[in-house]
Amino acid sequence: MPRQLHLNAFLMNTGHHEASWRLPESDPYAHVSLAHYVNLARVAERGTFDSLFLADGPQLWNNLAQRPAGALEPLTLLTALATATEHIGLIATASTSYNSPYNLARKFASLDIISGGRAGWNIVTTAGAEAARNFGLDAEPAHAERYARAAEFLDVALKLWDSWEDDAIVADKAAGVWGDDAKIHPPRHAGTYFSVQGALNVPRTPQGYPLLVQAGSSEDGKGFAARYAEAVFTAQQTIEDARAFYADLKARTAAAGRDPEHIKVLPGIVPVIGSTEAEARAAEQVLEDHIVHTHGVGRLESLLQLPSGTLELDSELPSDLPPEDAIEGAKSRYTLVVELARRERLTVRQLIGRLGGGRGHLTFAGTPEQVADAIETWFTQGAADGFNIMPPVLPSGLDAFVDHVVPILRARGLLRTEYGPRRTLRERYGLPRPANQYVSTPATGTPALV
Amino acid sequence: MPRQLHLNAFLMNTGHHEASWRLPESDPYAHVSLAHYVNLARVAERGTFDSLFLADGPQLWNNLAQRPAGALEPLTLLTALATATEHIGLIATASTSYNSPYNLARKFASLDIISGGRAGWNIVTTAGAEAARNFGLDAEPAHAERYARAAEFLDVALKLWDSWEDDAIVADKAAGVWGDDAKIHPPRHAGTYFSVQGALNVPRTPQGYPLLVQAGSSEDGKGFAARYAEAVFTAQQTIEDARAFYADLKARTAAAGRDPEHIKVLPGIVPVIGSTEAEARAAEQVLEDHIVHTHGVGRLESLLQLPSGTLELDSELPSDLPPEDAIEGAKSRYTLVVELARRERLTVRQLIGRLGGGRGHLTFAGTPEQVADAIETWFTQGAADGFNIMPPVLPSGLDAFVDHVVPILRARGLLRTEYGPRRTLRERYGLPRPANQYVSTPATGTPALV
């Protein structure tokens, strides 16, 4: 079969454009509406997307005045969506800094079973002091420390997910023997950040464990991805940068002893779709006109770790910004924003407009053919294995993509036309079911729970 | 309206009898079968039960050889069941010892929104070293310390659930103002066990917060229930004990400054139903015949905190057991079991048989009329506001109760015949929606999210 695109629908209340909630069509309560998300999930499934994705942070992200704040907790919402869908993968963001491995491993295992093998975990270390202060800390842990904890968290979680062999359940009613305790492997982990006896109280799941997804593009983030990630979300503004990132990550994955085919690179794209290019540009302009720029200044200052009042709307960024090394928060996003502003000599007002759509992800306004062309170019020229689709307005932007771009991609042979017999999320991404680390000879046949 | 029963369906894989999985009808994979639980939820809804309930502990509870082990995590499973049901309440057990208030408050708030106000939280402190060792501790915290942490956990969670006023969302698209930051109240909690800045990133929910349920009957447990609980699950072997417990808890609740009508007492009952009394007794005998008694010895030694090898199957319990004060685990269950054995002079083998059905809860074998009579007697004689129904075998035991006992209770006017207009779990239990602690004058009208 020829190589095909992997598409992920990144869902976020009324859409990724910060002003989307102000459009007449938008539901300002969408962020807490199950019906809104059920509709989006079914549209994405109609478009034969590989997966849905929800971002997350355990804190109230912004002032309420500016735009919708708060959200349904992703694992909870995706569990509800699992019962409303049949095929599509369900990728929840969860933090290694502010969860316990035992609790989180259980929840993902439960979702994987309930969804028939469609769970994915977007592993984040969670930048920012606001989250830290909700969990007994005064400030965020240093970037390197967050990643060290994340690596140990993964090791523990992987042990827990493997702590039942696939055939541990015997179910011998006559003999009164339900399971084989010799096939249970408590992790007995004692490390720097965690001490976990185990075993998990959930059997091994259809996928073995959830698809592992990662989205940090710092040095630490890329190292972590090379070691663990099976899919990577990334923000790239130019095809040159995207190609360099793609090649670098595949090389790092090979260097870590893994098959580079087993990590899928998915840049984000905010498609603003019109039946003509002029119509798409007009739609983009309507969104930009709804931005309240004074709100954006505070957020930009926060991202760049500048004191409040530093930036002026109609000037460029200050020339003396610190290097990425000095940033303890979202390192790679910091560099992307600073480079974008410098490259195009944008004023703060213009920069806020550019970031309004995708917070640093590529915004692309055009006809369905132009959007499909851009996707095909990146896909065939070594910049992407697929895309993280981030509609600026929801549900209309996802409707437009599925109704108008998906048919073009299918006609070009770039996207599946139906889901077919593959069942699990990992199968959709073309990845093998992982072996159990405690089993030297894998059990033959299909595991009971698959 | 005359006082009516509140019924809760306590669901547990193939049933509450430890040997239930060995019956020909039972699915040994029921513990991880969404379809099994969806069926049970719909049967309970057909019986107009108030709620479903799932027990939990963050550890692998028993050896696999003995009986089904492991389970789907309750909040995850109940979220899936929320989408498969319309009316019934969804009560998940979660531990205050092994969760963070911010994470848990979010999950319950999300479930309450997704279910339209049907979430309940069975608050447990989690006895046992096995759980402690999954969360970085060598041994379980002392009983009193677990309850002190639980009280602080509740205070923080209640602050988080109230951190949005009901009308915090303004949704003024024209002015570009989504919410009113003056109606957000970060807890800024700094206590003995937790430091939580807040606010929650989920708006106030249909119920304000989940129904608060509690099941510990120790002195600490009853004090906690009097202060916080709106429903209490309890194990009582005799109507005399149940009446004393009921009167005591209502008095403690009044003494804590709360309306004693606002705490519902629900003893557990394991109904073994037959079309004749002899048939019911025979069904009970079939279950007892499937018990592997040698497995039960180890579990009983563990409950009584005795060294392995202390108990002999055909002797009574040793006479020199320690008093409840010396027990750091499940105190009240310890006393119940010891008193049952002494009162009836049971051998260890007989005690294991008696505990096989309900682990200390009352097992009652009889015709549907006899079961209904027992329920009515306890309900009208000051021993119960309703019952925690614990079918010995699932699904057949729940089917039998709904098909044969429920019609009798309805004919006697003791149970609702349909759900009617009440929507939330707290409304079903006849409880008011809680006021927001940060609002002196409650908002008028119906909150936007209800």
CA–CA distance, B178 with B175 (Å, rounded to integer): 9
As a whole number, the mean pLDDT across chain B is 93
Q: Is B185 exposed, middle or buried (0-12, 13-18, 19+ CB in 10 A)?
A: buried
Residues from chain B contacting residue A100 (CB–CB below 8 Å) = 98, 135
Per-residue pLDDT of chain A (450 residues; tens, 9 = 90+): 689 999 999 999 999 999 999 999 999 999 999 999 999 999 999 999 999 999 999 999 778 988 899 999 999 999 999 999 999 999 999 999 999 999 999 999 999 999 999 999 999 999 889 999 999 999 999 999 999 999 999 999 999 999 999 999 999 999 999 999 999 999 999 999 999 999 999 999 999 999 999 997 889 899 999 999 999 999 998 999 999 999 999 999 999 999 999 999 999 999 999 999 999 999 999 999 998 888 888 888 888 888 888 899 999 999 888 887 777 777 778 888 898 899 999 999 988 888 877 777 889 999 999 999 999 999 999 999 999 999 999 999 999 999 999 999 999 999 999 998 878 999 999 999 999 999 986 555 444 443
Protein fold of B6-270+362-428: TIM Barrel (3.20.20)
> Which pLDDT score, from 0 to 100, does residue A61 have?
79
Checking if the pLDDT of B442 tops 60, the result is no
pLDDT, tens only, B141-179: 999 999 999 999 999 999 999 999 999 999 999 999 999
In chain B, residues 285-314 whose CB comes closer than 8 Å to chain A = 290, 292
Q: B196 and chain A: CB distance < 8 Å anywhere?
A: yes
Q: How far is CA B65 from CA A159, A161, A211, B30, B59, in A?
A: 22, 20, 31, 16, 16
A232 to each of A52, A123, A227, B144, how far by Cα in Å? 14, 10, 12, 46
Q: According to the model, what pLDDT value does residue A293 have? A: 84
State mean pLDDT over B357-381. 92
Among the partner-chain residues B58, B70, B80, the one whose CB lies closest to the CB of A114 is B80
Cα separation, B126 vs B97, in Å, equals: 7
Per residue in A195-214, is it b (16+ CB within 10 Å) or e — as a string? bbbbbbbbbbbbbbbbbbbb
Q: Contact at 8 Å (CB) between A43 and A112?
A: no
Q: How high is the pLDDT of residue A294?
A: 81
- Do A391 and A286 contact (CB within 8 A), yes or no? no
Over 60: is that where the pLDDT of B444 sits? no
pLDDT at A450: 39
Residue A354's pLDDT is 82
Checking DSSP bridges between strand B177-179 and strand B6-10, what pairing results, if any?
A: unpaired
Percent of chain B whose predicted confidence (pLDDT) is above 70: 97
What is the DSSP secondary structure assignment for residue A212, as one 8-state letter? E
The CATH number of the domain covering residues in A6-271+363-428? 3.20.20.30
pLDDT digits 0-9 by tens, B75-120:
999 999 999 999 999 999 999 999 999 999 999 999 999 999 999 9
pLDDT in tens, A255-277: 999 999 999 999 999 999 999 99
List the single best residue of B76, B163, B393 to mutate versus A (max A Cβ within 10 A): B76
Helices (H), B171-317: 219-228, 239-255, 277-289, 293-303
> A-contacting residues of B 361-390, CB under 8 Å?
none
- Summarised one tens digit per residue, pLDDT across range A246-257 is 999 999 999 999
Which chain B residues are Cβ-neighbours of A102 within 8 angstroms? 58, 98, 134-135
Work out the minimum CA distance from A369 to partner chain B, whole angstroms.
Answer: 33
> How distant is the Cα of A66 from the closest Cα of chain B, in angstroms?
6
φ, ψ for residue A120, nearest 5 deg: -135, 150
Q: Are A120 and A209 spatial neighbours (Cβ–Cβ below 8 Å)?
A: no
Confidence of residue B1 (pLDDT cuts 50, 70, 90): low
Torsion A80-A85-A87-A92 (CA) sign:
negative
Helix A331-344 × helix A293-303 angle, to 10°: 120
Residue B450's pLDDT is what? 39
Q: Evaluate the omega torsion of the peptide bond into residue A372 and state whether it is cis, within 30 degrees of 0.
A: no
For the ranges B191-195, B300-304, B422-426, the lowest mean pLDDT is seen at B300-304
Domain residue ranges in chain A: 6-271+363-428
In the prediction, which pLDDT does B216 show? 76
pLDDT, residue A304, reads 87
Whether the CB-CB separation of B57 and B95 falls below 8 Å is answered with yes
Instruction: Tally A–B CB contacts below 8 A.
Output: 222
Contact at CB, A178 and B29, closer than 8 angstroms: no
- Of A151, A158, A150, nearest in space to A98 by CA: A150
C-alpha A88, offset from chain centre: 14
Average pLDDT rounded to a whole number, residues B260-270: 97
Whether the Cβ atoms of residue B141 and residue B230 lie closer than 8 Å to each other = no
